[in-house]
Structure 1
Amino acid sequence: MMNAVAIEKTMHRQGVRSRNTGGGLLRGLLASTRAEALRLRKWPAFWVLLGTWILLNLAFTYLFNYLAYTTGESGRMSNGLPKDALLQQMLPAAVPEVFTQGMAMFGGALMLILGALATGSGFGWGTWKTGFTQGPSRTSAIGATMVALLVVVGGLVCVAFLIDTGVAAVIGASRSQELVLPSLGRVALGIGVGTAILGMWTLAGAFIGAIARGPALAVGLGLVWVLVVENLLRGVAGIFAAVAAITDHLPGTAAGSLAGSMRTTDGQAVPGVLDILSRTESLIVLGIYAVLFVAGTIVLMRRRDLI
């Protein structure tokens, strides 16, 4: 907590200096973003969440599939996916497809937690109140938090892609497979899809953190929505067709559909991965939600009393 407060005070001094020198909103935003990035780097929970996502990604994408392949249990453990097809999913050429499959469910949930902690913790520590009274404008402060979070998401997706490619290359070499890398267009598409999915969930977490004014309640509400509520609503939509118009455009549906648009292999069911919306429709819906979450967070932080 003391480190967080000290970093926040640094952010406030930088914001005040930028306003006094006529830098305006943009200069204050840049100074606050640098301080926010420092705060995140010094925060143990930040590294725990990112490390957990990398480990889960490797476990579900490669470890379990590799065990299924080598033990001959590919039929049961991979929902009937043939052994040869399972091996192809673990090679470098398939990385853009497979590394996005876990983002719709547990990857999104972890990034939602990160966003909720980033905004919600400031209420419990009192740093938002201190920052808004001594430092840059509220818009600069909360905007800096969101910019820093989105930069983290982009970096995390790129790191995950590189790690997955390395692991896939090792698996391919161990199985005497030819090393074929995905095309640059496929790589860019996979990274873009992953950033869109995780970015939307991170901004959703930041919005919930602003609503709940604390990390614990925000994390709980977010996880209930991601893991329970949306799945129940989609189940109800199967009974009442009128509900489908709503459930087909929920955040989780759009994220799952965007991840599903990357699939080239049928027969492997992955939790949270859907085929309800097209890739274009999914991107539009995710973009709308991202804008709404950013706008909602800024409005709440600007207009509400923080005491």
Structure 2
Amino acid sequence: MTDLQTHGAFGDLVASTRAELLRLRKWPAFWIVLGTWVLLNLTFAYLFNYLAYTTGSSTRMSNGLPREALLQQMLPAAVPEVFTQGMALFGGALMLVLGALATGSGYGWGSWKTALAQGPSRVSVIGAVVLSLAVTVVALVLVAFVVDTGVAALIAGTQGQSLALPSLGQMLLGIGSGAAILGMWTLVGALIGTAARGPALAVGLGLVWVLVVENLLRGFGAIFSPIRAITDHLPGTAAGSLAGSLRTVSGPATPGVLNVLSRGESLLFLAGYVVLFVAGTVWLIRRRDMV
């Protein structure tokens, strides 16, 4: 490939990525999904725990933690641990929906046919979708981290507790873990949306897998050991184990948070799934018609 061809392909990718980011920003569903996740994150991580702490009650919403443990979980130093706990299941389900909508709508609206008719290759178009989703995931994780830190600082200030932030290493670990978990689920949705050639079926199939199928398979694996080797390495297991590796408190975990795999194993399998889902999406788009 000549330098001119390389520059042209890179230029197509950059231009397509800008167009895709603009499309996402102008799309109400995009902001609804992201806003819903931020709201759920604050609700489950802080609102329920704060209500349980102030009322002195120990409920299922607070996982039965004593008041002092609840307070420690709401301080700024605990943000890297707390804000990842809901990503394995609820956050992952919402980001799967976003990924399915992003790719499925390319078929349903005919936007990909229009884009390809203007010159960019299929690789540039799907590369732009993947890059735009990656930017979205990283931005969402950073926003959630900042918002959670602000809320935690407010709670710490009103309760006369330490405003000390987590160490830089802990912050990077939390942000990186959150990006890995949400990124993997977003790419699951992108693959399903491409396979289904539309958003509606893809969203339904994806949510059934995240919320029902994986949980049933893990439950079945607990009583039928031959399939445990498979269930212990499913996408949701890897995501839940990575979130679980950041936990520092004992007691019941948030739904979806597991301790099946180590942190290193979880990251390895998540990276493998990311590569697999991106490759599958690219392969489907290159091989099939856009109609």
When normalised by structure 2's length, the TM-score is 0.97
Which residue, out of 31, 40, 46, partners 1:47? 31
In structure 1, C-alpha distance between the alignment counterparts of 2:205 and 2:60, rounded to whole Å: 34
2:44–2:61 contact (8 Å) kept in structure 1: no
Deviations along 1:190-249, whole A, 9 cap, x unmatched?
Answer: 000000000000011000000000000000000000000000000100110011000001
Aligned residue in 2 for 1:186 = 170
Q: 1:96/1:22 Cα in 2 relative to 1: closer, same or farther (>3 Å)?
A: closer
The 3-state SS of whatever aligns with 2:256 is coil
In structure 2, C-alpha distance between the alignment counterparts of 1:41 and 1:103, rounded to whole Å: 22
Q: What is the 5 A alignment of 1:198-213?
A: 198-213=182-197
Aligned residue in 1 for 2:126 = 142
Aligned residue in 2 for 1:124 = 108
In structure 2, C-alpha distance between the alignment counterparts of 1:107 and 1:170, rounded to whole Å: 24
Report deviation, 1:135: 2.7
How well do the aligned residues superpose, as a CA RMSD in angstroms?
Answer: 1.4
The 3-state SS of whatever aligns with 1:54 is helix
Aligned residue in 1 for 2:260 = 276
Does 1:69 find its partner at 2:53? Answer: yes
Q: Which runs of 5+ in 2 are unaligned?
A: none
Aligned residue in 2 for 1:153 = 137
Give the stretch that moved more between structures: 98-107 or 67-76. 67-76
Q: Which runs of 5+ in 1 are unaligned?
A: 1-18
Deviations along 1:20-70, whole A, 9 cap, x unmatched?
Answer: 987232221111111111111111110111100000000000000000111
How many residue pairs are counted as aligned between the two chains?
289
Does 1:258 find its partner at 2:242? Answer: yes
In structure 2, C-alpha distance between the alignment counterparts of 1:233 and 1:251, rounded to whole Å: 12
Does 1:166 find its partner at 2:150? Answer: yes
Q: 1:178/1:245 Cα in 2 relative to 1: closer, same or farther (>3 Å)?
A: same
In structure 1, C-alpha distance between the alignment counterparts of 2:244 and 2:160, rounded to whole Å: 29
% same residue: 72
2:187–2:274 contact (8 Å) kept in structure 1: yes
In structure 1, C-alpha distance between the alignment counterparts of 2:28 and 2:70, rounded to whole Å: 36
When normalised by structure 1's length, the TM-score is 0.92
In structure 2, C-alpha distance between the alignment counterparts of 1:301 and 1:206, rounded to whole Å: 11
Deviations along 1:267-293, whole A, 9 cap, x unmatched?
Answer: 132100000000000001001110010
In structure 2, C-alpha distance between the alignment counterparts of 1:68 and 1:46, rounded to whole Å: 32
